[in-house]
Structure 1
């Protein structure tokens, strides 16, 4: 891993108040080391970790992604009950889910307009609104 990836990863972990363990630094470097936002699954991050020679277990990847989310560094995007993606971009924005390739990408936020939400149940407050637009390529 390059020195700039390690530096970015270390700074990113620091923003979340997380201690930079070897595993966290390795995964942070893969997630934000090039300065780009990305969407990953635990499995895709584990595969990237293995390819990079870091050897982080899948269980550690899952636990680390949860810690990153709890620290406010990432957000989890649930596509269906069994598939979660983790997004390093933290502003509110919609997503495209490509059903044929199981890929999650950002959708243009400036083209989305939500004019009204249902009345919230008493004793609750809005935490966030997730918008996932499912797509299928046409032939």
Structure 2
């Protein structure tokens, strides 16, 4: 029996122990409803809500994406000081950032090697390493 988008969304929220409000379910359905991984900005997710007929403000989208990250359901990938992407795939993996089109995609993890990381300062630990490889067209 095929899982519906609403079932996927509800199950995903339950993994993060998040209450399934109408707005969370609507956004979760857009993010994971078809079972595919997504890289979205708050603005691109907000634009998708209009196409689905959902009434969700941009501020709610930002707050909900932050709640999804805090619950461990997504990772935020910062590509520069003013642009963040939110990734539904939460395992460690590198990304390509396509500068010409402002898109973030997964890069092949088996083709990258990190030989050594610096020691974390006293009283801290490394929680995650983000690898973003910026691409542009050759001239």
TM-score interval w.r.t. the shorter chain? over 0.9
Scaled by the length of structure 2, the TM-score of the pair is 0.96
SS at match of 1:105: strand
Q: CA deviation at 1:117?
A: 1.1
Give the aligned partner of residue 43 of structure 1. Answer: 43
Give the aligned partner of residue 126 of structure 1. Answer: 126
Q: CA deviation at 1:15?
A: 0.5
Give the aligned partner of residue 104 of structure 1. Answer: 104
| CA distance in structure 1 between the aligned counterparts of 2:135 and 2:31, rounded to whole angstroms | 25
Give the number of aligned pairs. 137
Moved over 4 A (4+): none
The alignment yields a C-alpha RMSD, in angstroms, of 1.0
Q: Residues 5-44 of structure 1: matches in 2 within 5 Å?
A: 5-44=5-44
| CA distance in structure 2 between the aligned counterparts of 1:69 and 1:111, rounded to whole angstroms | 27
Q: CA deviation at 1:53?
A: 0.5
Structure 1 stretch 119-128 or stretch 74-83: which is displaced more?
A: 119-128
Q: Residues 35-74 of structure 1: matches in 2 within 5 Å?
A: 35-74=35-74
Gaps of 5+ in 2: none
| CA distance in structure 2 between the aligned counterparts of 1:106 and 1:128, rounded to whole angstroms | 16
